[in-house]
């Protein structure tokens, strides 16, 4: 068996190895890590609170416009300033919190990997010994960064999406209320019809995205892998650059082959993004219109004010956006997975070397 393939690359095993190393920060700096986590959750909840306040502001502003009440419009305009200021400050506070957590986490993981890599001069013995040894410098710098950046952004976005969806379900339920209509001569009442509307619409968008972007995550992963292999081939070519080297022509051909693989995956990624853009841009255009259309019967019958209509439509778009968490983060999820895999492969290669060192030391 080729030594380079001596590590069996199992998906679960790789993720387990990554988390084992990546959790160093959360296990060793418990106090600071917990403070950051509480801070980020707190900011996310305050942002949600402001989002609800802005949603209410929307209603009061348009109601005032409908009544042609100049004093109320002016009052709402004044109220908007502290709301906007709060929102801006919270956005800035969130960036600081996220980037601080990411920096600390990256530092802890990078130091951990570098320590393992440098110990007993393993970086000298690593080359060509086991799969995962290619281009370790890039794995330590770029892949560790991506692998620690994305989980914080993604988990915060997921948390925000869940609490936002739950909160605005309430808004949709109360503002939208029930709708009554006749079906085959029998009166039908659907309570909280906007909630059902947003669930059905979001389900359709997610289903369409799954159909259109079925291969997107795997193509992104393969594209990232091809880029990494191309870098590794270029690195090997540089290290063995002398034309008199017997492998020079082979290395040149390998470099060209890896470039071709990069370009082909890039072409496929382009087509995948073209397909998913059809859905995402369509959704961007349709979501608010669908919300208005769903509210229109109640508005036209006088059961809903203009302010309530805009509030409900805005809440519909917010909930629908929250539902799209997976869809919106397809690319980042795939990027994170590839980087986490590459960091894990390097760690497993280092583990293998470490095991060999222990075996060597134990041998008489």
Decide whether 179 or 226 has the Cβ nearer to another protein. Answer: 226
- Residue 264 or residue 289: which is nearer to another protein going by CB? 264
Q: At 162, list the tokens.
A: 């869940």
Nearest CB to another protein, comparing residues 215 and 332? 215
Residues in region 296-355 near another protein by CB under 8 A: none
Q: Nearer Cβ to another protein, position 107 or 268?
A: 268
Contact 175, 316 (CB under 8 A): no
N- to C-terminal Cα separation, the chain: 27
Beta-bridge partners for 183: 186
CB of 288 to another protein, least distance (A): 33
Piece in contact with another protein (CB under 8 A), picked from 20-28, 57-65, 142-150, 261-269: 261-269
Rounded to a whole number of angstroms, the minimum distance from the CB of residue 254 to another protein is: 8
Which DSSP string do the residues of 119-144 spell out, in sequence order? GGGHHHHHTTTSTT-SSHHHIIIIIH
**C-beta of residue 94 within 8 angstroms of C-beta of residue 100:** no
Region binding another protein by CB under 8 A among candidate stretches 47-55, 78-86, 267-275, 316-324: 267-275
268 versus 354: smaller Cβ distance to another protein: 268
Output the smallest distance, CB 215 to another protein, in A: 5
CB of 264 to another protein, least distance (A): 5
d(CA 31, CA 244): 58
- The number of residues that bind another protein (CB under 8 A) is 20
Residue 299: how many CB atoms within 10 A of its CB?
Answer: 16
Handedness of CA 89, 91, 97, 100 (dihedral sign): negative
Q: Which stretch binds another protein (CB under 8 A): 16-24, 132-140, 204-212, 260-268?
A: 260-268
237 within 8 A of 251, measured Cβ to Cβ:
yes
Say whether residue 257 binds another protein (CB under 8 A): yes
Q: How far is the CB of 307 from another protein (least distance, A)?
A: 48
User: CA 34 to CA 26: how far, in whole Å?
Assistant: 8
Nearer to another protein by C-beta: 235 or 354? 235
Give the footprint of another protein on residues 200-239 (CB under 8 A): 215, 218-219, 221-222, 226, 229
Residue 298, C-beta contacts closer than 8 angstroms, at least 6 positions apart = 176, 177, 179, 304, 309
Specify whether the CB–CB gap between 165 and 323 falls below 8 A.
yes
Residue identified by tokens 């039908």 is 188
Cα–Cα distance between 58 and 55 in angstroms, integer?
A: 5
Residue labelled with tokens 């799969």: 131
Question: Of the ranges 129-137, 254-262, 305-313, 318-326, which one interacts with another protein (CB under 8 A)?
Answer: 254-262
Write out the residues near another protein by the rule CB under 8 A. 215, 218-219, 221-222, 226, 229, 253, 256-261, 263-265, 267-268, 271
């Amino acid at each position: 068996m080729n030594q380079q393939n001596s590590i069996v690359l199992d998906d679960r095993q790789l993720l387990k190895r990554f988390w084992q190393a990546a959790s160093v920060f959360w296990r060793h700096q418990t106090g600071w890590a917990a403070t950051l986590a509480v801070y980020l959750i707190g900011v996310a909840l305050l942002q949600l609170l402001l989002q609800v306040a802005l949603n209410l502001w929307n209603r009061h502003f348009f109601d005032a416009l409908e009544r042609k009440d100049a004093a109320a419009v002016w009052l709402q305009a004044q109220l908007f300033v502290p709301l906007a200021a709060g929102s801006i400050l919270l956005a800035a506070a969130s960036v600081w919190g996220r980037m601080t957590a990411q920096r600390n986490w990256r530092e802890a993981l990078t130091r951990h990997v570098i320590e393992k890599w440098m110990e007993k001069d393993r970086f000298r013995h690593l080359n060509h010994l086991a799969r995962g040894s290619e281009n370790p410098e890039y794995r330590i710098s770029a892949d560790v960064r991506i692998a620690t950046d994305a989980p914080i952004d993604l988990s915060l976005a997921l948390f925000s999406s869940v609490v936002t969806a739950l909160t605005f379900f309430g808004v949709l339920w109360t503002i939208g209320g029930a709708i009554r209509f006749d079906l085959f001569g029998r009166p039908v009442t659907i309570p909280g019809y906007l909630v059902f509307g947003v669930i059905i619409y979001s389900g359709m968008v997610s289903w369409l995205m799954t159909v259109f972007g079925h291969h997107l995550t795997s193509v992104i992963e393969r594209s990232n892998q091809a880029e990494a292999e191309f870098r590794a081939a270029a690195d090997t070519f540089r290290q063995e650059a002398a034309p008199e080297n017997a492998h020079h022509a082979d290395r040149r051909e390998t470099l060209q082959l890896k470039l071709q693989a990069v370009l082909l995956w890039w072409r496929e990624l382009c087509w995948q993004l073209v397909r998913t853009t059809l859905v995402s841009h369509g959704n961007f255009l349709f979501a608010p219109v669908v919300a208005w259309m769903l509210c229109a019967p109640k508005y036209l019958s006088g059961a809903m004010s203009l302010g309530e209509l805009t509030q409900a439509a805005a809440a519909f778009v917010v909930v629908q956006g929250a539902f799209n968490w997976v869809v919106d983060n397809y690319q980042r999820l795939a990027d994170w997975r590839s980087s986490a895999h590459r960091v894990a492969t390097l760690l497993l290669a280092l583990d293998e070397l470490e095991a060999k060192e222990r075996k060597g030391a134990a041998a008489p």
